[in-house]
Amino acid sequence: MESSILRIEKLSHRYSTSWAIRDINMEIGPTGIVGLLGSNGAGKSTTMNIVCGALNQTEGDVYINGVNMKEDPQQAKRDIGFLPQQPPLYMDLTVDEYLRYCAGLRHLPKDKMKSAVKEAKERCGVDHFSKRLIRNLSGGYRQRVGIAQAIVHRPKLVVLDEPTNGLDPNQIIEVRSLIKEIARDRAVIFSSHILSEVQILCKEIRMIENGKIVFSDTMDTFNNYVEPHSVLVHLENPPVEAELLKINGVTQVEFLTERQLRIYFNGEQDITERIVAASVHNGWRLREISLDKSALDEIFKQLSHPSSKQ
């Protein structure tokens, strides 16, 4: 990949006796959000801690903007912003004090500090809380401050470890749109164990399971790969199962309630149209029909099963 901001080569890490990650290769481009998806304990945090220079790997190499993290960590870290799973916030500092402190840690020159802190606050929507103690901010705003410290030195790569964890649904939506905004002019790695979250946000996906990459491609390819094979249907006047099985392509019918059904099909594209047509023709009174997204989680499970490792 030309002008990649991050290149990981044969990265492995062992904690005392067991390997947490094994032979990870990864390359990501200069802008947009890459989702790092994996269940708890898959190895996401280990990978991200090494990428950000917070943990020394057992084997392999990490290059940030072409600079090897092991050989020149100071230079490599200039281009990285990191929000770990536990945001490194100081509760007794105000937002301004904290961000100035973080900018100092990043060796920002004094004359640039004020404008850098202001820009980070504005981009993260915390400008109006400049003088407030972090302790007195809501979880969503604390997370915004966490993201602000990750971008204060204008890094080319920002790594966010489960940044929406523990937030309420409104806060999640707000933090998501903030992440989208900051990814317009830099690369963002976004880790999560929730497939739908990665699907909403990311243009690319790297799936890690048991310490190995099991899927690595664009989100579109992933979605095509895991195309749903069932639809959820609400019929006010449902027929017996045998009638539904007569529809071309339908392989199985599952009654979830009296009127709600899951209909499995064999990959035919126009199954929805055929169900709608059959419903109109037979008077089944169709109320709702949608592709069954929960089936994606099923395929996610299959992909992450050890036997499907690449």
The binding site for ligand ATP (CB under 6 A) comprises 15, 20, 38, 40-46, 193
Q: What is the largest CA-CA distance in the chain?
A: 76
Q: How far is the CB of 1 from ligand ATP (least distance, A)?
A: 24
Judge contact between 264 and 230, C-beta under 8 A. yes
Minimum distance from residue 249 beta carbon to ligand ATP (Å): 38
Pick 35 or 228: Cβ nearer ligand ATP: 35
Shortest separation between residue 193's beta carbon and ligand ATP, angstroms: 6
Query: Measured from the CB of residue 301, what is the shortest distance to ligand ATP in angstroms?
Result: 16
Quick one: 65 or 304, whose CB is closer to ligand ATP?
Answer: 304
Minimum Å distance from CB 13 to ligand ATP? 8
Backbone angles phi, psi at 170, to 5 degrees: -65, -40
Please, what's the b/e burial string for 241-258 (b: 16 or more CB within 10 A of its CB; e: otherwise)?
Answer: eeebeebeebeebeeeee
Nearest CB to ligand ATP, comparing residues 38 and 228: 38
Q: Residue 196 or 251: which CB sits closer to ligand ATP?
A: 196
User: Concatenated DSSP letters for the chain?
Assistant: -TT-SEEEEEEEEEETTEEEEEEEEEEE-SSEEEEEE--TTSSHHHHHHHHTTSS--SEEEEEETTEETTT-HHHHHHTEEEE-SS----TTSBHHHHHHHHHHHTT--HHHHHHHHHHHHHHHT-GGGTTSBGGGS-HHHHHHHHHHHHHTT--SEEEEESTTTT--HHHHHHHHHHHHHHTTSSEEEEEES-HHHHHHH-SEEEEEETTEEEEEEEHHHHHHHT---EEEEEESS---HHHHHTSTTEEEEEESSSSEEEEEESS-TTHHHHHHHHHHHHT--EEEEEE-THHHHHHHHHHTSGGG--
- Residue 42 or 145 having the CB closest to ligand ATP: 42
- Is the CB of 38 or the CB of 140 nearer to ligand ATP? 38
Q: How far is the CB of 114 from ligand ATP (least distance, A)?
A: 36
Least distance to ligand ATP from the beta carbon of 181, Å? 25
Smallest gap from Cβ 159 to ligand ATP, in A, equals 12
Report the residue number, 43 or 228, with the smaller CB distance to ligand ATP: 43
Q: Is 66 or 88 the residue whose CB approaches ligand ATP more closely?
A: 88
